């Protein structure tokens, strides 16, 4: 495969997760393996009972060999015979009240063995062991060990501390070196310098039988900073794995008709002019014109329209639409890079570039702090060289003490401790923080823009007022509806089943693509489908019609609001947010939903570009926008917004473009997220203030040369504990 084709494949799928998603070859290779490994995400699992329910019900499924829940990551891994499908397991779990989503097995090997995390944890453990032992010896020195005893204790401390500093400090040395080579001062440069200076000076002092050795401070510093680094890493690893493994929705392959034969071809290799077959239920792989067949298309993920659109010969179709009722033969007008799906992805790439310019609180603190520390330390060195007329040992001692004391673990813990605490709380409510600065950005939000279909609503039609119809009418309608996979028909069949009405005996059921379903009931023809076809008068709402014994009956549908949508909107308004609803759907359903949720600012029929433009205009007014959306038509707006949330059912491109993923069905946690985001930003600032306060007290003591290892140890441990406790105050 050439590079150009590779790029084509990558860009069609439009997101990093899909780039690493398993190629068809790898999927094929997995089929050879006798045991399939399936991974499901369980957003609602939270307790011991959930573990037994999930593991027990999965193990009862024939073909499942073992099922193991990981509660920390809220997922279950299943070893099963190859014929067991994820969809079947999800259905089993749904009956137990456990919501589940499939995760992409191709990415499992990458995240399950989280090498970097394990490596950091190993270094953390070593640093902890060393810290405890060195501290034991240091306490003896502080409480008055003298002469030979003190020297012996210092030597033993050194023997423990030096290898530890080299091993545990490696991540800092590596990243400090990388920063220095490109001429920057990150947080890691002062940390590395403090580690090296503290160890070197302590070795020298010990060799000279000096009073003070900073071995304990060096090891403690390494431990504290590693702890911050590890917490940071863990938050990100959990979020990344869960967000990106949600299985890809896009079709990587298309069925191309070559001289009447069906050939499966990668989308990147489909040329304009080729003829493609799209079966009912499949997603349109390319842009094109229908040359044969009639059907209906579900365009909700592209445009936000909740009602399927009829299509037939000569009509244009776009990549990403779902073909609902009949097979379509399509002549390709644009594939791969030129398709509308990809043009949308380009918009996302542009907006993503703009977002990376946000500087986090931690970066701003480091930019302020790093030069200051170095100036103070070198200033102290220069002054004491001059004041003591060249006492090198004393001057270096002071400057090392300044570095060690200004480099408290509290600074490294200030942000990770808060993020760990906050994202743990949000994870338990079913929200996944994908981006490290998402919480800080969430705290600044003053405007919330919602999408309608699939976000505020479930994107699934629901029949209303079924009980107004007679049982016989419902029984016939249900029998006909069962013969189709059209969303309205499925919803109708489901609705009638919920009323405990048995479907009637209808014979010769036949689906007429694009029109409806017909059959024979008690010898007379019956039809369920479009208004004209059934001879009914169209209602100004989403509806399907039944022609039965000379009369027509209309079944009206509504798009059910997502659970918690009303609560979320109300809570956000109570927090003083401006709320807007931008939908690509028709005016009537948008107006109805806006009124039901009490949203005054709403627009219907909004194009994707217009959504992004509206978000940009709001940002231009100085507003900070939180965008909540799920479709491809929202993707550009999601990326353009200050911070964005998408539900787990969203298209991959939308999930990748957003900072936070809503794992469950319930929408109410969004209001919590904003509240917790605000609290966390406040805690982070407080944490920086706490560490600054310790410095204001401790630095003058170090500068005048009164700092002892005991003072450094006290300052460090006290400030770290205060910062960690402050982070845990989050509610």
Partner 1 sequence: MEILAILIPVSLFLGGIGLLAFFWAMRTKQFDDPEGDAARILTKEWDDRPKPSGDAPPSTAPPRRGRGEE
- Contact residues for partner 1, defined by CB under 8 A: 47-48, 51-52, 55-56, 59-60, 65-67, 69-73, 118, 121-122, 125-126, 129, 132-133, 136-137, 149, 152, 156, 160
Residues 6+ apart with CB under 8 A from 49: none
Which lies closer to partner 1 via its Cβ, residue 73 or residue 562? 73
Question: Catalytic: 451?
Answer: yes
Closest CA to 678 of 731, 616, 618, 620: 731
| Residue 112: both structure tokens together | 């399950």
State the minimum distance, in angstroms, from the CB of residue 291 to partner 1: 53
DSSP tag of 37 = E
Which lies closer to partner 1 via its Cβ, residue 56 or residue 598? 56
State the minimum distance, in angstroms, from the CB of residue 74 to partner 1: 9
CA angle 200, 203, 206 (to 5 degrees): 145
CA distance 41 to 111: 14
Q: Which residues sit opposite 298 in a β-bridge?
A: 322
Rg over CA atoms, the chain: 32
Exactly one of 232, 451, 634, 652 is catalytic; name it.
Answer: 451
Which lies closer to partner 1 via its Cβ, residue 126 or residue 684? 126
State the minimum distance, in angstroms, from the CB of residue 712 to partner 1: 23
Q: How do beta strands 447-450 and 578-582 pair?
A: parallel
- DSSP per-residue string spanning 54-77: HHHHHHTSTTEEEEEEETTTTEEE
Question: Assign residue 641 a region: left if phi > 0, alpha if psi is -120 to 50, beta otherwise?
Answer: beta
State the minimum distance, in angstroms, from the CB of residue 37 to partner 1: 13
CA distance 306 to 587: 11
Closest CA to 542 of 631, 464, 451, 456: 464
Which lies closer to partner 1 via its Cβ, residue 12 or residue 127? 127
CA distance 145 to 43: 57
CA distance 71 to 645: 23
State the minimum distance, in angstroms, from the CB of residue 59 to partner 1: 5
State the minimum distance, in angstroms, from the CB of residue 568 to partner 1: 27
Which lies closer to partner 1 via its Cβ, residue 128 or residue 688? 128
Which lies closer to partner 1 via its Cβ, residue 56 or residue 281? 56
Which lies closer to partner 1 via its Cβ, residue 115 or residue 181? 115
181-199: b (≥16 Cβ within 10 Å) or e = eeeebbbbbbbbbbbbbbb
Which lies closer to partner 1 via its Cβ, residue 72 or residue 359? 72
CA distance 636 to 613: 9
| Residue 294: both structure tokens together | 């009639």
Closest CA to 716 of 132, 122, 222, 361: 222
| Residue 576: both structure tokens together | 């003083």
State the minimum distance, in angstroms, from the CB of residue 415 to partner 1: 22
State the minimum distance, in angstroms, from the CB of residue 229 to partner 1: 16
The catalytic residue positions are 451
């Amino acid at each position: 495969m050439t590079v150009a084709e590779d790029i084509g494949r990558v860009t069609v799928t439009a997101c990093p997760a899909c780039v690493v998603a398993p190629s068809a070859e790898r999927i094929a290779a997995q089929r050879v393996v006798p045991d399939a490994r399936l991974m499901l995400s369980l957003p609602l699992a939270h307790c011991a009972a959930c573990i037994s329910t999930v593991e027990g019900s999965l193990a009862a499924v024939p073909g499942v060999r073992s099922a193991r829940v990981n509660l920390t990551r809220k997922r279950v891994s299943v070893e099963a015979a190859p014929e067991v499908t994820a969809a079947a397991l999800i259905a089993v779990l749904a009956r137990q009240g456990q919501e589940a989503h499939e995760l992409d097995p191709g990415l499992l090997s990458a995240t399950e063995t989280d090498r970097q995390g394990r490596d950091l944890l190993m270094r953390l453990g070593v640093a902890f062991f060393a810290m405890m032992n060195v501290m034991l010896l240091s306490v003896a020195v502080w409480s008055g060990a003298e002469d030979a005893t003190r020297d012996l204790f210092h030597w033993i401390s050194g023997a423990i501390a030096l290898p530890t500093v080299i091993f545990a400090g490696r991540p800092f040395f590596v990243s400090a070196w990388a920063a220095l080579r490109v001429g920057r001062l990150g947080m890691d440069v002062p940390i590395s310098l403090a580690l090296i200076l503290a160890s070197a000076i302590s070795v020298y002092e010990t060799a000279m039988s000096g009073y003070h050795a900073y071995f304990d401070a060096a090891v403690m510093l390494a431990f504290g900073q590693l702890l911050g680094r590890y917490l940071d890493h863990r938050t990100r690893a959990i979020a990344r794995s869960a967000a990106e493994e949600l299985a890809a929705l896009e079709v990587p392959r298309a069925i191309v008709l070559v001289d009447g034969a069906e050939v499966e071809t990668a989308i990147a290799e489909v040329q304009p002019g080729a003829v493609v077959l799209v079966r009912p239920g499949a997603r349109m792989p390319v842009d094109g014109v229908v040359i044969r067949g009639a059907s209906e298309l579900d365009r909700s993920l592209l445009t936000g329209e909740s009602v399927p659109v009829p299509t037939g010969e000569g009509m244009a179709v776009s990549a990403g639409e779902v073909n609902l009722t009949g097979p379509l033969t399509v002549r390709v007008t644009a594939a791969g890079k030129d398709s509308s799906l990809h043009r949308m992805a380009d918009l996302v790439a542009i907006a993503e570039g703009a977002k990376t310019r946000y500087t986090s609180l931690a970066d701003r603190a480091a930019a302020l702090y790093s030069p200051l520390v170095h100036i103070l330390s070198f200033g102290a060195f220069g002054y004491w060289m001059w004041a003591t007329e060249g006492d090198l040992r004393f001057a270096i001692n002071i400057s090392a003490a300044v570095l060690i004391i200004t480099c408290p673990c509290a600074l490294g813990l200030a942000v990770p401790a808060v993020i760990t605490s906050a994202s743990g709380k949000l994870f338990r409510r079913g929200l996944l923080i994908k981006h490290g600065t998402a919480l800080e950005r969430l705290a600044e939000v003053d405007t919330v823009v919602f999408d309608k279909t699939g976000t505020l609503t479930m994107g699934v039609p629901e029949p209303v007022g079924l009980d107004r119809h007679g049982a016989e009418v419902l029984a016939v309608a249900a029998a006909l509806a069962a013969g189709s996979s059209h969303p309205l028909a499925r919803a109708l069949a489901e609705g009638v089943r919920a009323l405990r009405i048995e479907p009637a005996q209808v014979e010769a059921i036949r689906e007429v693509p694009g029109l409806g379903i017909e059959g024979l009931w008690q010898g007379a023809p019956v039809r369920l489908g479009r208004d004209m076809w059934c001879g009914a008068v169209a209602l100004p709402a989403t509806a399907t019609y039944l022609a039965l014994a000379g009369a027509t009956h209309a079944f009206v549908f509504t798009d059910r609001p997502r659970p918690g949508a009303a609560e979320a909107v109300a809570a956000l308004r109570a927090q003083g947010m401006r709320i807007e609803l931008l939908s690509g759907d028709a005016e009537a359903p948008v107006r109805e939903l806006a009124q039901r949720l009490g949203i005054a600012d709403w627009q219907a029929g909004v194009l994707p570009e217009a959504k992004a433009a509206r978000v940009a205009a709001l940002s231009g007014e100085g507003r900070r926008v939180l965008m909540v959306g799920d479709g491809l038509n929202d993707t550009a707006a999601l990326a353009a917004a200050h911070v964005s949330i998408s539900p787990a059912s969203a298209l991959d491109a939308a999930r990748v473009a957003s900072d936070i993923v809503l794992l469950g069905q319930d929408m109410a946690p969004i209001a919590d997220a904003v509240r917790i985001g605000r609290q966390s930003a406040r805690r982070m600032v407080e944490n920086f203030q706490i560490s600054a306060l310790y410095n204001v007290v401790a630095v003058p003591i170090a500068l005048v040369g009164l700092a002892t290892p005991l003072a450094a140890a006290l300052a460090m441990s006290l400030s770290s504990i205060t910062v960690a406790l402050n982070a845990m105050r989050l509610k």
